Structure 1
């Protein structure tokens, strides 16, 4: 056998498959970083339901919070639709939901009202949240005219995000999970949503911190303390002004 034949044989030897970490069948994360033990003892069953309009890029994030929300609430109390504009033919029943009179959109526009000021908080609301960064949320809103006709609400709270391993744009920004938990607590008049739904996020952050992650201050804080490492651009400047008293899901 000559040298070329030897190399040919060697090149056809299959590579050993990568060692796969055991995954949790519930959250589909590696068992070592599973946060399911921190989920509510029983899935919470609010009168209202959360409808997430999720930008496709969010699904690629390994530390996203939408799965925590979906697993923390009862079946069909958190519906997730993916896309860059809504509704699309693939979004089953979404157009009907968006047209229902009890549907409200959490979006910090000039016409939005405080969610705590809704006249009939005991109603079963469809609470629409846009799941993405602020630029992604604005793009989804702009490309989805049906959203412009929905009553808009905003969330006013002094809560500081517990998502301390991810940099937020401003001090008032909350993750998707935290936003939904706070909104449900106000709509349902029950703090258990705020207290129980965010526990998996605390578990996730603590694991990351224990394994080398560091806490992140918001860009707003870094800019105010003159420790932001880059020059601030016009878009970020506008964002800080526009979200001064509002919350943006991330």
Structure 2
């Protein structure tokens, strides 16, 4: 009898799915953690374009900065292509963009020159960034020979990343959003990109910190202070030695 009553109780459980949190139509995040109010008052419209080569795993991260960049810039000023090597047949017009003489690859190779030392002869640039972790970025670069023939530039910045809720490999590493904003500010000679594009990131970090998140030091800092909780691999060890 008790068993029958238990089954009757189960049969009365409503089959409707649980109520999902309301999502912002713009950023697609839950409305309570939406950062759209921190976007530029008007979408910024630089002469140059940002081209993101995004590793597929990056799209699954809930705390990512590429959407902030895409929504902060005018339409078609931030193009995102997904994959582990580039270009592929599905990447419409990407090969043409990568082979354009005004295209720059932001990648810290030995051949890269400081973006500040670039001869600003063009009125616009296609600024290519690889969006992913450092190992993912290296793998994409290695598997995409076309990237090796693009003029390579790097950023030299003294400020630390504002993305303080995510661990960066070294002290000088910036998020995708910060890198793009700094590059645009220097190439367009206008600090508005540096000032306005990163505001959603500040808002995101503040919300996370107010709700229990903690600030993250870089792996480089933690290793130097002997507080990093894991063994480091040869690749990271080599990278840290090269920055000293």
Q: What is the SS of the residue equivalent to 2:241? A: helix
- Cα distance in 1 between the residues matched to 2:11 and 2:110: 64
- Give the deviation of 1:11 after TM superposition: 6.2
Q: Name the CA shift for 1:10/1:231 in 2 (closer, same or farther; >3 Å).
A: closer
Query: So what's the TM-score if we normalise by structure 2?
Result: 0.94
For residues 1-250 of structure 1, the aligned pairs below 5 Å read 7=7, 10=10, 15-120=15-120, 123-242=123-242, 244=243
- Cα distance in 2 between the residues matched to 1:141 and 1:8: 60
- Give the deviation of 1:18 after TM superposition: 1.4
- Cα distance in 2 between the residues matched to 1:98 and 1:122: 16
- Give the deviation of 1:230 after TM superposition: 2.1
- Give the deviation of 1:239 after TM superposition: 2.3
- Cα distance in 2 between the residues matched to 1:9 and 1:92: 55
What is the total number of aligned residue pairs between the two structures? 244
Query: So what's the TM-score if we normalise by structure 1?
Result: 0.92
> Structure 1: which 4+ aligned runs deviate by more than 4 Å?
6-14
* Root-mean-square deviation (Å): 2.1
Q: Name the CA shift for 1:227/1:9 in 2 (closer, same or farther; >3 Å).
A: closer
1:102-157 CA-partner distances (Å, limit 9, x unpaired)? 00100111111011111126521000000000100010001111111100001111
- Cα distance in 1 between the residues matched to 2:121 and 2:65: 25
Q: What is the SS of the residue equivalent to 2:53? A: strand
Residue segments in structure 1 that go unaligned for 5+ positions in a row: 246-250
